[in-house]
Structures are given as structure tokens and as C-alpha cells.
Structure 1
Amino acid sequence: MKAESAAQARLLDLQGLDTELQRLGHKARTLPEAAEAAELKKRLDRLESELIAAQTRVGDAERRQRKAEADVDQVRARADRNTKRMESGQITSAKDLQSLQSEIASLGRRQAELEEAVLEAMEHTEEAAAELARLKAEREEVLSGHTAAVARRDTAAAEIQWDRERVTRDRERVVQEIPEGLLAFYEKLRDQYDGVAVAPLRYGRCEGCKLALSTVELNEVRAAAEDEVVRCENCRRIMVRTAESGLAAKAEQ
């Protein structure tokens, strides 16, 4: 392939812009702010689920406590009625009086048991409520962190997008200065070699594969016409000759 040396030199500019676009694309995909926001979103989702479960536990504990308190009230009310009947003097039968006293004693024991159950239920309710309060506080903290991380992520992404648009505009200008056939060849090589199609020959070394050319290879490049597109024998990328290639220095020896 033939192309003016100026057009070949512009390939280096184009490669630099494409490499920068690749770098910006990778940076956009691997933003630490995005990873932080994603991790906080996962924590937030987990906390939402834990909050629902905690709210359910509080509701269940409160219902058990109300049930225990209602049972105590019912037993206490019955014991009060029996005590008033006994104290009213209306019961004259010794047998009935003994039976009533026995029931009052039994109700007293039952009331003590139920009051113990109420205390236990209250403890469970307090524990469940404390856990719910803790989860709510943690959720607020994580939500605040997530909001801030999203803002940082969006700011960083916007800056990258601005850079990409700037580089893309520069690329469009450079593309206009490169012959169509050379540009198509460049794009084909980019697809084959991980986005790097062209590299300068600097001090006898291909900057594409970082390998030094042999004396025979250097002589072949030196003998090539100025408008000939030369390629590295090692990595097969286009090698652009520059003032730093070292070819002139070799020619003088």
C-alpha cells in the first residue's frame, strides 16, 4: 500500500485519539464512583428487606403483648368480682365460700403467670422496636451515602462524556486528512490487533510490540520508498517512520 508520509504521520495522531477513546471508555465502565454507588444500592436493598421483616416482628410482638395484657385484665376483673361477692356477705354457705376463696387464689396464681408473660412480651417488643430503630438509622445513613455516590458518579461520567465528545470531534477532523483506502486498512488492523493498528518506529524499535528490529529488517525499512506503508514483521502493525526512527543515523555509518 502507498500513502504520503504526511498521511501516515496522521495515522499516529488518529491512533492516539482512538487509544484515548478506548481509555475513556474503559474509565467510564470502571468508575469507582459507579462501583461504590452499586454496592451502596445493594446494601440499601438488603436493608429495605430487613426493615420489612423488622416491622413485621414489631407488629407481632405488639400483638402478643396486647393479648397478654388483655388476658391479665380479664383474670384481674374476674378476681375482683369474686372478691366483691365474697366481701358482700351474700354468700352464706361455707362450701360456696370455700369454693370462691379457692377460685380467687387460683385466679391470683394465674394472674401472676400472665403478668410474667406480659413482662416477657414487653421485653420482646422493646427489643424488636430497638432493632427496627437501628435499621432505620442505618438505612438513612446508607441512603445518604448512596445519594452522594450517585452524584459523584454522574459528575465523573459527565466529565468523561465531555472528554469523549471533544476527542471524537478531533478524530473527525483527522479522519478527513487520511486517504480512504489507508483509513480502511487502519480500521481493519485495529479490529485485528486489540485497537492498536499503527505505531511509530523509534530508535530501531517498533512501539507497537516493543521489539527491536533486526539489522536486516531495518535495512528493508530504510530501503522502502517514502510513500510505502511498512509493517512490523513481528506484530504486523503499520510502522510509521519518524525523525526518531534511527534510520538516518544508520545510513551515515
Structure 2
Amino acid sequence: MKADPAVQRRLLDLAEADADLNRVNHRRRTLPELEEIGQAEREVQARRDELVVAQTAFGDLDRENKRLENEIEQVRARERRDREMMTSGASAKQVEDLEHELQTLARRQGILEEELLEVMEQREASETNVTKSQEAVTAAEERLAEVRSRRDAALAELETAESRRRAERDLIVKSLPEGLAALYERVRQQRGIGAGPLQGSRCGACRIELDRTALAELRDAAADDVVRCEECGAILVRETGR
């Protein structure tokens, strides 16, 4: 295949555009925000799990608090009933029994009130823990949203750079002979790099020094011959083409 040396030099512009696009894709895959998002998501989940545990503990204590309050109210209701019975013409034996029961109820009420006080203190501490856990969840979610926002901004910037560079690439491809462009694309798909400059005795695509035989063949080739690196297969753009 033959192509004007000036046209061949455009392959280096095309290779540079492809290298830039590869860097954009690499940057997109390796944004530091992606790792930060993973960490932030795990943090949010951990804080939410802690909140569930705190809410469960508070719910248990709240139910126990209500149970004790109901039981104390039942004891008080029983006490009121017994006192009403004592003043409503009860016999001496009934009064004695009622007095004994009132003593028992008083002791029971005292025990329940002590238990209630303890549960109320635990419930208050648990409620504080729930509040702190909710605040921790909110803070973690805000952190996640902030990192996602930075990721989206970085991706938008990369998208703009990619669109601009791809448009420039398309113009370069359109300026090339169809056969030369097709060869470049085929080599790029197979080898990763479609073209590179011959830098002294080194291929600019694979960075490998060419042997004397290959260099002699390159020197003997016409200026408009499209030559390739024997090591990597990339199209070699020679100094003689400049």
C-alpha cells in the first residue's frame, strides 16, 4: 500500500487521538470517586444497620415501659377497689383479708415502680441512641450524595472531553484514504496501537529497537510506501515522510 508521506503523518494525529480516548476511558474506570462511593455506601449500610438495632432496642424497652405502667395501674385499681370494699360494710374477717392484700399490693407496686424507673432510664438512654444513630445515617447519606455529585461532575467533564476528541478523530479519519484508514483500524483492533513514528531505530508504537535487517528494508522502501513494524505490526511513520 502507498500513501503520500504527508498523509501518513496524519496517522500520528489519529494515534494520538486514540491514545487520548483510551486515557479518558481509563480515567472513567478508575475515578477515585468510584472507590469513595463504595466506601460511602458501605458506611451508609453500616449506619442503617446500627439504627435498626437501636430502634429495635428502643421498641423493646418502650413495650416493657408500657407493660409496667399497665401493670402498676392494675395494682392501683385493685387497691382502690379493696379500699372501697373496706368502707362499704365489710366484715371484720374481710377487712383483715383486705388489709393483708393491700400490703401485698403495696409491696408489688413498689417493686413494679422500681422496675419502671429503671426501664424508663434505659428507655431514655436508648432514645438518645436512636437519635444519634439517625444523625449518623443522615451524615453518611449526605457524604454519599456529595461523593456521587463529584463523580457525576467528573464523568460529565470526561464526557465533554471524549466528545470533543472523538469529533476531532472523525475529521482525521475522513481526511485519510479509505484503504489506509481501514488498515489503521484493523491494526489498532488487533494490536492496540495503529501507528507510531520511527524514532531513530526504535518503533514509537511498541518502543522496541528494530534490527539492522528491518532498518535496511525501511531505508530501501519508497517514501510513499506504507511500512509496518515487524515487532508489533503498527504502521511506521518515517522521518523521511516529514
Same fold (TM over 0.5): yes
What percentage of aligned pairs have identical amino acids? 38
SS in 1 for 2:175: coil
> 1:41/1:52 Cα in 2 relative to 1: closer, same or farther (>3 Å)?
same
Q: CA RMSD for the aligned pairs? A: 2.4
Measured in 2, the distance between the counterparts of 1:81 and 1:182 equals 106
Is the CA contact 1:5–1:227 (under 8 Å) kept in the aligned structure 2? Answer: yes
* Aligned residue type for 1:6: A
The runs of 5 or more residues in structure 2 that have no matched partner are none
Is the CA contact 1:201–1:242 (under 8 Å) kept in the aligned structure 2? Answer: yes
SS in 2 for 1:233: coil
Measured in 1, the distance between the counterparts of 2:24 and 2:158 equals 6
1:78 corresponds to: 78
1:203-222 to structure 2, matched below 5 A, reads: 203-222=200-219
Is the CA contact 1:200–1:207 (under 8 Å) kept in the aligned structure 2? Answer: yes
SS in 1 for 2:104: helix
Compute the displacement of 1:233 (Å).
Answer: 1.5
Compute the displacement of 1:60 (Å).
Answer: 3.6
Measured in 2, the distance between the counterparts of 1:77 and 1:203 equals 105
Measured in 2, the distance between the counterparts of 1:141 and 1:148 equals 11
Is the CA contact 2:6–2:241 (under 8 Å) kept in the aligned structure 1? Answer: no
Q: Which moved more, 1:184-193 or 1:77-86?
A: 77-86
Measured in 2, the distance between the counterparts of 1:188 and 1:243 equals 24
1:164-243 to structure 2, matched below 5 A, reads: 164-193=162-191, 195-242=192-239
The runs of 5 or more residues in structure 1 that have no matched partner are 246-253
2:106 corresponds to: 108
Q: Which moved more, 1:123-132 or 1:230-239?
A: 123-132
Q: Which moved more, 1:15-24 or 1:53-62?
A: 53-62
Measured in 1, the distance between the counterparts of 2:240 and 2:226 equals 16
Q: Figure out how many residues of one structure are paired with residues of the other and give that number.
A: 242
1:99 corresponds to: 97
* Aligned residue type for 1:74: Q
Compute the displacement of 1:62 (Å).
Answer: 1.6
Measured in 2, the distance between the counterparts of 1:119 and 1:12 equals 82
Q: Does 1:61 align with 2:61?
A: yes
Compute the displacement of 1:99 (Å).
Answer: 1.5
Compute the displacement of 1:221 (Å).
Answer: 0.9
* Aligned residue type for 1:176: K
